[in-house]
C-alpha cells in the first residue's frame, strides 16, 4: 500500500474518484494480474480484456455519453493510467486507444465518423491504433513517405508505418500520409483506415526489451483504397492536427511515469521493510532511507506539476511547452527512481518475477516515444525564445526580397 506521502492528491480526492479507483483495482486484480505472464509470452493481450474494460466504462472515459463514452473529465482517464502504471500493467494499450485516437475523432472528425467509430471504441469491440512513425523517420513527422494519391472519390495509399502500439490487434488506425507527394506543398493529411481492407497488412509483433505484453508491429499499405469520407479533418492539415493533439499524448506519458514511480517506491518500501541484512531490515539503514527520501521528493515535485496540467486538458488549454516539460521531467524522474529502487532490491531486482524488473525494462521507452526527450527540450526552448525565432524568421524573409 502506498504511503500517505504519495497518496495526498487533491485531484483524485472526490468520492467519484475513490469509487473509480476501487473499481479499477478490482478489475486489475480479477481480470489482469493473473493473465499478464501469458500475455507476455503471446506478445499481446486478449481481445476479451478490451471488451471487459469497455463493459465497465473504462474506455473512452472522457468521450461524451452521446458517442458511447462515460462523459467524465480527463482526470478520470489519468487516474486509470496511473493505477495501471503503479502495478506495471502496460499490455493493454487502453490509453492510446482512449486518450489519443478517440480525441482525434472527437475534435476533428465529422459527425458520421464519430457516430461510426466512437461507440464501438467505447465497448472495446473496435481496437484502434495511430500510424505516424516510419522506418526512415520518428519525431520528424514532416519526413513521412506514405502516400495517398487522389483518385476522385477515394485515395490509394501506399507505404509503411512502424512501432505501432495496438498494431496487430487493431481494427482501425488513423494514418498520417502525404496527399500531394512530389509537389512543393506535399501536404500531410490523416486518413481513417480499417485493417480489414484489401492491401492493409500487419507485420509480426516486435520482440522488445520491455512492454512485452503490448503488441507493437509494422503496418503495410499496398494500394489500399480509402474512401474520401475517411479523411480526418481537412486535406493538408494533418500536421497541424497532430501538433495540437500531441500535447495530450505527451501528458499521458508523463502520467504513466508518475504512476510507475509511485508503484516502484511503494514496492521498495514494502520490500526493504521485510528483507533483512546484518540482522535488521534493509529499511533501517540510513542509505536506504535517504535514497527513498530522494525518490519520494522527486516524485512529489513532478506530481505537483502534472496535477496542474491535468485540469487544462478538457478545455484544450495545455500548451505544447507545458506538455513537453511534463513528459521530459516526469520520464527522466521515473528512470532515476526505478533505477534507484531496483538497486535496493539487490539481486532480486534483476529477476523478471519481480515487478521492479519489469518496470525497469518497460520504462526506458518513455524517454523515446511521443517525441524523444531531446525533441521535448527543443520545443521548450522554442517557447522560451519565441520572439527571437519570430524575428529571425521575419529577417530571413526580408533578406530574400
How many domains, in total, are found in the chain?
3
257 and 370, same structural domain?
Answer: yes
Q: Is residue 349 a contact partner of residue 359, using CB atoms and an 8 Å limit?
A: no
Q: How far is CA 46 from CA 5, 127, 145, 212, in A?
A: 36, 11, 32, 14
Domain that holds residue 348: 240-386
* CB-side neighbour CA atoms (13 Å) of 165: 18
What tens digit of pLDDT does each residue of 157-199 get? 999 999 999 999 999 999 999 998 776 667 899 999 999 999 9
CA–CA dist 176, 133 (Å, integer): 9
How many angstroms from the chain centroid is the CA of residue 240? Answer: 19
pLDDT classification of 4: cutoffs 50, 70, 90:
low
394 part of a folded domain: no
Helical segments of 89-211, H only: 94-95, 102-108, 111-123
What tens digit of pLDDT does each residue of 304-317 get? 999 999 999 999 99
SS3 call for 310: helix
12 and 73, same structural domain?
Answer: yes
Instruction: Summarize the chain as % helix, strand, coil (round to 5).
Output: 60, 15, 30
254 and 232, same structural domain?
Answer: no
Give the phi and the psi of residue 170 in degrees, each rounded to 5.
Answer: -60, 140
Catalytic residue among 26, 229, 249, 374: 249
342 and 229, same structural domain?
Answer: no
Give the domain CATH number at 142.
2.40.110.10
Q: Is residue 248 a contact partner of residue 322, using CB atoms and an 8 Å limit?
A: no
Q: Residue 332's CB: how many other CB atoms inside 10 A?
A: 17
251 and 137, same structural domain?
Answer: no
pLDDT exceeds 80 at position 73? yes
395 part of a folded domain: no
What tens digit of pLDDT does each residue of 295-349 get? 999 999 999 999 999 999 999 999 999 999 999 999 999 999 999 999 999 999 9
Residue range 67-76: average pLDDT? Answer: 97
Say what the pLDDT of residue 6 is. Answer: 55
247 and 344, same structural domain?
Answer: yes
Q: Is 249 assigned a catalytic role?
A: yes
Amino acid at each position: 500500500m502506498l504511503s500517505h506521502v504519495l497518496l495526498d492528491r487533491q485531484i483524485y480526492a472526490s468520492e467519484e474518484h475513490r469509487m473509480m479507483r476501487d473499481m479499477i483495482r478490482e478489475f486489475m486484480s480479477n481480470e489482469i494480474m493473473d493473465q499478464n505472464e501469458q500475455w507476455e509470452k503471446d506478445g499481446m493481450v486478449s481481445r476479451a480484456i478490451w471488451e471487459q474494460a469497455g463493459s465497465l466504462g473504462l474506455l473512452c472515459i472522457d468521450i461524451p455519453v452521446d458517442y458511447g463514452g462515460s462523459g467524465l473529465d480527463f482526470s478520470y482517464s489519468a487516474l486509470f493510467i496511473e493505477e495501471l502504471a503503479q502495478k506495471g500493467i502496460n499490455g493493454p494499450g487502453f490509453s492510446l486507444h482512449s486518450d489519443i485516437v478517440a480525441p482525434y475523432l472527437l475534435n476533428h472528425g465529422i459527425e458520421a465518423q464519430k457516430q461510426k467509430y466512437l461507440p464501438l471504441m467505447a465497448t472495446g469491440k473496435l481496437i484502434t491504433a495511430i500510424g505516424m512513425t516510419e522506418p526512415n523517420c520518428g519525431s520528424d513527422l514532416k519526413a513521412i513517405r506514405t502516400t495517398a494519391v487522389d483518385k476522385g472519390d477515394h485515395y490509394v495509399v501506399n507505404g509503411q508505418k512502424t512501432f505501432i502500439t495496438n498494431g496487430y490487434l487493431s481494427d482501425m488506425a488513423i494514418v498520417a500520409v502525404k496527399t500531394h507527394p512530389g509537389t512543393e506543398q506535399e501536404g500531410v493529411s490523416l486518413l481513417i483506415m480499417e485493417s480489414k481492407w484489401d492491401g492493409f497488412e500487419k507485420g509480426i509483433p516486435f520482440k522488445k526489451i520491455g512492454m512485452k505484453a503490448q503488441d507493437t508491429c509494422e503496418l503495410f499499405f499496398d494500394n489500399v483504397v480509402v474512401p474520401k469520407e475517411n479523411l480526418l479533418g481537412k486535406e493538408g492539415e494533418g500536421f497541424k492536427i497532430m501538433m495540437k493533439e500531441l500535447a495530450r499524448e505527451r501528458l499521458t506519458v508523463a502520467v504513466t511515469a508518475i504512476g510507475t514511480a509511485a508503484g516502484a517506491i511503494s514496492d521498495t518500501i514494502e520490500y526493504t521493510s521485510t528483507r533483512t541484512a546484518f540482522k535488521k531490515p534493509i529499511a533501517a539503514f540510513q542509505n536506504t532511507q535517504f535514497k527513498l527520501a530522494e525518490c519520494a521528493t522527486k516524485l512529489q515535485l513532478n506530481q505537483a506539476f502534472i496535477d496542474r496540467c491535468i485540469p487544462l486538458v478538457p478545455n484544450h488549454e495545455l500548451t505544447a511547452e507545458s506538455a513537453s516539460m511534463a513528459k521530459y521531467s516526469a520520464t527522466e524522474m521515473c528512470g532515476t527512481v526505478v533505477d534507484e529502487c531496483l538497486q535496493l532490491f539487490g539481486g532480486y531486482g534483476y529477476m523478471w518475477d519481480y515487478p521492479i524488473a519489469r518496470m525497469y525494462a518497460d520504462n526506458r521507452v518513455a524517454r523515446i516515444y511521443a517525441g524523444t526527450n531531446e525533441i521535448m527540450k527543443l520545443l521548450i526552448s522554442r517557447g522560451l525564445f519565441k520572439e527571437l525565432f519570430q524575428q529571425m524568421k521575419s529577417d530571413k524573409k526580408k533578406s530574400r526580397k
